[in-house]
Amino acid sequence: MVLPGSKESQNYDSNNQKVHPQPIDENMNQNLLKTYEVMVKKFQSQIQTRDTEITHLQQQIDEAKLRKSKLEKKLKQRGLLNKESEESDDEDNYFSIELTPSLFTSAVDNAYQSIHDFSKPLINMMKAAGWDLDAAANAIEPAVVYTRRAHKKYAFESYICQRMFGGFQEESFSVKAANITVSNEAFFHQFLAVRAMDPLDVLSQNPDSVFGKFCRSKYLLLVHPKMEGSFFGNMDQRNYVMSGGHPRTPFYQAFLKLAKSIWLLHRLAYSFDPKVKVFQVKKGSDFSEIHMESVVKNIILDEGAERPKVGLMVMPGFLIGTSVIQSRVYLSGVKSAD
């Protein structure tokens, strides 16, 4: 029992007193709110300023890259681009392009297209020089039965193919060079270094490079002296090429596009491990849908008839791992629905 007036009673009373909270200062809270609003607006303004600066800097970067690209192109044309810049660009390309079977397939398509493209000026030059194209086609591969006269163009494509792909199975591609083993990575590096450049720009930097020697040897093999004499009335261009030059004539530049595509295909074939294998199809071989593709579409095969025979090979085939890239052939005497 606690007696009134005792010390315990005083403590009890003090402990049981009600505590009343202090009234909230509304003005202070409103001031804080205004302060926060001002800070938020300030930060938003700073963010917008930073965004504007970032956009402006990105535009400057893009413009600088464009100017750099244009300047490098001019320097390459003049042969003044330093090696460090070239190596830097090559490294960027090396990591941006993957070595895949689809990349090789695309290169095969480009090579065949280049054969087709070069056959046009070649045939036109022969026409202008008064050649008998029927006799020329028969001389390339006799006894081929063409279902249409226009199909004789494939004889000239076959001629180009045979000359350009000679030695493809060799690492040197029939070009005499130092007896040095080249790694897969080095072949791919060469592919990347040349693929985006104009072939004449490549040759202007180093006319006697391996690529330059390849172009020279293939041109002299593809364009026979009698052929060149009939085309131009003299041997000036041939003599210039034989002396180590690369003329800037339209005909030779058209040839360089062809040579570049075949060269790139070879560099790419040797970039793989194991390397890509090339195979050819001989005239008279039975047509195989696994290893061959007819350049004439919608062919008509009579039921019960013998398998059609190959008349011309216009593009070799390739084995990349377990995959087959079909050889492109013209089938002798086969009709088509076209």
pTM score of the predicted model = 0.71
Q: Which of 126, 138, 132 is nearest to 227 (CA)?
A: 126
Q: How far is CA 250 from CA 78, 131, 167, in A?
A: 20, 20, 27
Q: What is the pLDDT of residues 145-202, one digit of tens each?
A: 999 999 999 999 999 999 999 999 999 998 876 566 789 999 999 999 999 899 999 9
CA distances from 291 to 156, 278, 286, 315 (A): 22, 12, 11, 12
- Inform me whether the pLDDT recorded for 326 exceeds 80: yes
Residue 83 has pLDDT above 50, yes or no: no
pLDDT per residue as tens digits for the range 22-70: 455 666 677 777 777 777 777 777 776 666 667 656 655 665 666 666 6
Domain positions in the chain are: 89-273
Q: Are 133 and 119 in contact (CB under 8 A)?
A: no
Task: Say what the pLDDT of residue 90 is.
Answer: 47
How large is the average pLDDT for residues 81-86?
A: 48
DSSP state, residue 1: -
Share of the chain above pLDDT 70, in %: 75
The answer to whether 213 and 176 have CB atoms below 8 angstroms apart is: yes
State phi, psi for 310 to the nearest 5 degrees. -75, 130
CA–CA gap between residue 159 and residue 144 (Å, rounded): 14
Question: Which three-class secondary structure state does DSSP give residue 94?
Answer: helix
Tally helices (H) and strands (E) across the chain: 12, 8
Q: What is the full DSSP assignment across 272-325? A: SSSPPEEE---TTPBP-TTTEEESSSSEE--TTPPPPBEEEEEE-EEEETTEEE
| pLDDT band at 91; cut points 50, 70, 90 | very low
CA distance 294 to 269: 23
Q: How many CA atoms lie within 13 A of 338 on its CB side?
A: 10
DSSP symbol at 19: P
What stretch of H or E contains 330?
A: strand 327-331
Contact 261, 114 (CB under 8 A): yes
Poorest-pLDDT segment among 36-50, 69-83, 94-108, 269-283: 69-83
Q: Based on the number of CB atoms within 10 Å of its own CB, is 160 exposed (0-12), middle (13-18) or buried (19 or more)?
A: buried
Distance in angstroms (rounded) separating the CA atoms of residues 242 and 249: 15
